[in-house]
Amino acid sequence: MKFRAGDYQVAVIGAGHAGIEAALAAARLGASTVIFTINLDAVGNMPCNPSIGGTAKGHLVREIDALGGEMGKAADATFLQSRMLNRGKGPAVHSLRAQIDRRVYGAYMKKVLETTPGLDLRQAEIVAAEPQDGRWLLTTRLEEEYVVDTVILATGTYLQGKIFIGDVSYDGGPDGLFPASELTDSLVKLGMSLRRFKTGTPARVLRSSIDFSKTERQPGDEPVVPFSFETGGVLKNQVDCHITWTTAATKQVILENLHRSPLYGGKIHGVGPRYCPSIEDKIVRFAEKERHQVFIEPCGLNTDEMYLQGLSSSLPVDVQLKFLHTIPGLEQVSVMRPAYAIEYDCCDPTQLTASLEFKELPGLFGAGQFNGSSGYEEAAAQGLVAGINAVRRVRGQEPMVLDRASGYIGTLIDDLVTKGCMDPYRMMTSRSEYRLVLRQDNADERLTPIGREVGLVDDGRWERYCRRQEQKQAERARLHDTVLSPTAEVNAVLKASGTTPVVTGIRLEDLLRRPQITYATLETLGATDPNLDPLVREQVEVEVKYEGYVRRQLADIEEMRRLENRLLPADVDFTTIVGLRLEAQEKLQRIRPRSIGQASRISGVSPADVSVLIIWLASRGGEAE
C-alpha cells in the first residue's frame, strides 16, 4: 500500500559523483533536499578508476571547487598519490591527477551528505517519476511516495544496467550492485528520448601476485599540489604506482579469442567511449601498435586490490587470465574481480537547456552519465550546475548558465546540449577554444565570484579569495615597477639560466617574460617576495609569460559573448524564418538554442544560416548586446 513519505523542494536520484554535488549544492543553498541511492554503501563509489583528475578533468575539479563544490576537498582528504600531468607542455594543459583511496573517498562523501543540514539521504530505488499539479511524484519500489518541486536524474550506469563478461550477460549495476530496472519505462512514458551507451572496467588483481621487479616505478610529485583552493597544510604522497606494457603474446591471445568478445560478437548494442576503449578494441583499432601501456594502481591503503588501468575488457574470464599472464610482472597474477562491460540507458542531451533542465519537462533535470557523458569529474560538474539551477527554478530565479569562456564546465555542458554526443562524452583540453584562458591555476579567479553570487561561497572563503586577488595585483605592480641593475652577479645568473645578459636596467616583468626565466630564477637573484602565496606566484608567472596570447584570446571571448548576448525568443518557430535551409530549420527547431552564439555551434547550421538569424533578429529589434 502506497504512503506519503516526504515533501521536498529538490530530489536527486542517484548518489554517485553527479548526485552528490547536486544534492550538496541544493541543500547548501537552503532548499529542502532528498537524495536516493539503491545502496547506501555505494555512495561516491568509484566502479572504474580509483582516481580523480587527469587531462582536462583536473581543470573540472578545480572549477567545481571554485564554484563551491566538494569533489576537490574530498580528493585532497583521501588521495594516495598526486601527479601533475603534461608538465613538459604549456600551462594551458597542465592537469592534476590523484590516486584515491576509493573506500575512504566514499565514506568521506557519505559523511558529508549525512551531516549537511536540510539534506536527507535515503536508500531506495525510484521506479516512477510523474508530473503532478506542477510538481513531481516519485514512487519507490517499496511504494513510498515523495512529492517534490524539482527532480535531478543522476542515475550513472544503473538505469537498465546489464553486465557482459564473454558469453555471460545479466542485469546488474556496477560492482555487483542491483540495476535500476523500472525507472526507464516511466521516463519513456514522459516522451523522453533515451539511448544505450556502454562502458567497461579492467580486472582487479592481488598485489602480492604481481612481480614489481619487472615493472617501472612511478612515484608521485613533490611537493603535492592540492585540488582545492581551500586545502592548507603539507600533503604527502603515500604510495607508488607502476607501469608495464602488453606484449606480442597479449595481442595474439586477444585476436585468437576476439570471436568470444560480446563487443565483436554482436551481444553489446550500446555505444562505447571513443577515448577510453577496451584492450580488445585497442588491439583492433591500433593494429600497427606493438604494445600498449598498463598502469598498476592501488585501490586503497587497507586493501591489496590493484587496478590495471588500460586493460578494460569484456572477454571471458579464462581469456582475461590468459592475456594478463603475457604481461611483464603479471605472469602469475591472481584476479580478484574480473573485467566487465556494462550497458545502460541515458538520454539524448540535446533535449536539455544549458541549465540542464529538460525543455519539455519543467522541473526535471539531468546530470552526469545520464546526460551521455563519461567520467566522475564530468558528472560532478554537471551535478553541481543541476543542483544550483534546480534551486533557482524553485525560487523563480534565472538559471546559472556558464558560457564556453567561463570554464571547462561551460564547454562541457554547451557541447552536450548543443552538439549532443554519439558516444560517451569525455572532456579534453582540445575541446575548448579558450584553453589558454581556462587554465586550472586561475579557476578561482574565473568562477569564485560566480559561486559567491549564487550563494555557495561563504564569507570566510570570499575574504581569502579577495586577499589573494589583492596580493596578485600588488605583485604585478611590483614586477612592473622594480628594475634590476646589470650587475656582474645578475648577469652570471642569467648566463647560467641560458639567457642573454643585460647591459641596462631591466624590469622584473620583462625578465620574467623570457622563456628561460622563472620565479625560481628571481629567487636566486633575491628579487622575490617571500610572503607571496604559491598559487598567486603560479598565476602571475603564467600571465606575464603569455600576456600577448591571453590578450588575443580575450578578444575572441569578447566576440563570442557578443553573439551569446543576442538571445533568441523562446517561442520562435524556426520553420517560418525565410532564408534558413531545411536542415538548419530542423536542427534549430529540435535543439531550440537560447542565443545566436549557441545556434552557430549546432552541427548542420552554416554561417549563412547564422547570418539569416542575425538579420531576422535585428528586424524584430533584437540587437541588444
Q: Domain boundary at 552, 576, 599, which?
A: 552
- Mean pLDDT to the nearest integer, 589-593: 92
| Same domain membership, residue 159 and residue 17 | yes
**CA atoms of 412 and 415, how far apart (whole Å):** 5
- Mean pLDDT to the nearest integer, 77-97: 93
Contact yes or no for 462/469 (Cβ under 8 A): no
Residue 612, classed as helix, strand or coil, is helix
In a domain? residue 161:
yes
- Reported as a single tens digit per residue, the pLDDT across 568-584 is 998 899 999 999 999 99
In a domain? residue 453:
no
**Which CATH number characterizes residue 177's domain?**
3.50.50.60
CA distances from residue 76 to 4, 218, 234, 254, 305 in whole angstroms, order as listed: 40, 20, 11, 38, 21
CA distances from residue 593 to 587, 599, 605 in whole angstroms, order as listed: 10, 5, 11
**Which CATH number characterizes residue 575's domain?**
1.10.150.570
- Reported as a single tens digit per residue, the pLDDT across 117-171 is 999 999 999 999 999 999 999 999 999 999 999 999 999 999 999 999 999 999 9
201 bridge partner residues: 340
Contact yes or no for 42/67 (Cβ under 8 A): no
- Mean pLDDT to the nearest integer, 59-82: 98
In a domain? residue 441:
no
- Mean pLDDT to the nearest integer, 43-68: 96
| pLDDT at position 276 | 74
| Same domain membership, residue 168 and residue 37 | yes
In a domain? residue 536:
yes
| Same domain membership, residue 348 and residue 316 | no
**CA atoms of 298 and 238, how far apart (whole Å):** 11
Retrieve residue 369's grid coordinates: 552519465
**CA atoms of 429 and 90, how far apart (whole Å):** 12
- Mean pLDDT to the nearest integer, 314-324: 97
| Same domain membership, residue 536 and residue 579 | no
| pLDDT at position 470 | 96
Contacts of residue 386, defined as CB under 8 A and 6 or more positions apart, other chains included, come to 18, 22, 152, 154, 355, 356, 365, 366, 367
| Same domain membership, residue 361 and residue 329 | no
| Same domain membership, residue 313 and residue 225 | yes
Residue 99 clears pLDDT 80, i.e. is over it: yes
Residue 588 sits in which domain range? Answer: 565-619
**Cell 520553420, residue?**
575
Query: Read out DSSP for 564-591?
Result: HTSBPPTT--GGGSTT--HHHHHHHHHH
| pLDDT at position 624 | 40
- Reported as a single tens digit per residue, the pLDDT across 337-346 is 999 999 999 9
pLDDT band, residue 272 (cuts 50/70/90): low
| Same domain membership, residue 216 and residue 322 | yes
CB neighbours of residue 574 within 10 Å: 22
| Same domain membership, residue 266 and residue 153 | no
| pLDDT at position 622 | 62
**What percent of the chain lies above the pLDDT cut of 70?**
98
In a domain? residue 353:
yes
Domains contained in the chain, number? 4
| pLDDT at position 621 | 77
**CA atoms of 33 and 10, how far apart (whole Å):** 5
| Same domain membership, residue 212 and residue 337 | yes
pLDDT band, residue 275 (cuts 50/70/90): low
341 bridge partner residues: 164, 200
In a domain? residue 508:
yes
| Same domain membership, residue 499 and residue 407 | no
Peptide bond into 298 cis (omega under 30): no
In a domain? residue 224:
yes
Q: Domain boundary at 524, 552, 580, which?
A: 552
What pTM did the predictor assign?
Answer: 0.94
Retrieve residue 483's grid coordinates: 628594475
Q: Domain boundary at 531, 552, 573, which?
A: 552
**Which CATH number characterizes residue 321's domain?**
2.40.30.260
| Same domain membership, residue 209 and residue 181 | no
